Amino acid sequence: MEADLGVAWYPSDKGEAPGVFKSVSPAWNNQNLLSLSRVIHSHCILAHVCAALPGLPVAQLNCHPIAWEQFTFMHNGSIRESQTVKRQLWRELSDSSYAWMQGTTDSETIFALFVDIYSAHKGESSTEKMATAVLTTIESIESLLKSAGHTAGCDLNLAVSDGRSAVVSRYSTKGATPNS
C-alpha cells in the first residue's frame, strides 16, 4: 500500500503563507516527519495521509496539503471518471490557475477551481468568503458532471484554511454517505 503524507502549518495568525512538508514515504516510517513534529508549533496545522488510487502516479507533487499563497487545501475522495472530467474542469480555470498546477490529481484541479472562484469575489479575506467559494466549487463540479452526462458521481470532502480559519465539507453525490 502506498501511503503518502503531508503536513502544512502556519507560523503565526497573520495570514502568512504556510510551511509545507510532503513525502511519498509512509508516515509511520518517516524520520523527517518525526523530527519536524517535535519542533513545529502552530495554532493551525493540517495533515493528510493518503492511500493512492490504483493507476495514479505516486509523486511528491501529488501529496496534500496543497498550498497557494495563504491557503492550504486537502481533499479526501474522488471525482469518478476524473480523467475525462478533469479536462473539462481545466477549461473552466483561469490561465494563471492552470499554469500554477504541477501535479496530476483531481484534487489539485479542484483547488485551482476554488482559487479562481475565491479570487473572483472581491473584498476582504473571510471565513464566509472561503465557505462560499467551497460551496460554489462543489456546485460547479456537480453542474459540470451533469452537463457532461457523467453519472458515476464524486466525493468532495474538502478542507481549506487561510491560517486563521478553516472551512470543511463532507459531500457525496446521489445522497450516498460520504467518506470521512
Which domain CATH number covers 101?
Answer: 3.60.20.10
Residue 180 falls inside a structural domain = no
Confidence of residue 180 (pLDDT cuts 50, 70, 90): low
Chain mean pLDDT for the chain: 85
Give the separation between CA 28 and CA 41, rounded to whole angstroms: 20
Instruction: Identify the weakest region by mean pLDDT among 3-17, 67-81, 92-106.
Output: 3-17
Residue 80 to residue 154: CA distance in whole angstroms: 6
Alpha carbon 172 to its chain's center? 16
The amino acid at residue 3 is A
Tally of structural domains, the chain: 1
Q: What is the mean pLDDT of residues 59-79?
A: 87
Alpha carbon distance 60, 102 (integer Å):
10
Whole-number pLDDT of residue 95: 94
Stronger pLDDT, 148 or 163, i.e. the higher one: 163
Q: What is the domain range of residue 161?
A: 3-175
Residue 63 lies in a domain: yes
Q: Concatenated DSSP letters for 58-78? A: --GGGPSPEEETTEEEEEEEE
Predicted confidence (pLDDT) at residue 126 exceeds the cutoff of 60: yes
Residue 148 has pLDDT above 60, yes or no: yes
CB 158 within 8 A of CB 134: yes
Rounded alpha-carbon distances, angstroms, from residue 58 to 61, 103, 109 = 9, 10, 17
Q: How many residues does the chain have?
A: 180
What mean pLDDT comes out for the span 64-89?
A: 84
What was the pLDDT predicted at 174?
67
56 — pLDDT class (breaks 50, 70, 90): low
Q: Is 135 part of a structural domain of the chain?
A: yes
Tell me what the mean pLDDT of segment 158-171 comes to.
94
Most confidently predicted of 24-28, 39-43, 109-113 = 109-113
Q: What is the H or E stretch that residue 98 is in?
A: helix 95-100
Residues 5 and 48 sit within 8 Å (Cβ to Cβ): yes
Cα dihedral across residues 162, 166, 170, 173: positive or negative: negative
Report the pLDDT value the prediction gives residue 94, as an integer from 0 to 100: 94
The whole-number average pLDDT for the span 38-62 is 78
Peptide bond into 65 cis (omega under 30): yes
The answer to whether 163 and 126 are in contact (CB under 8 A) is no
Residue type at position 50: C
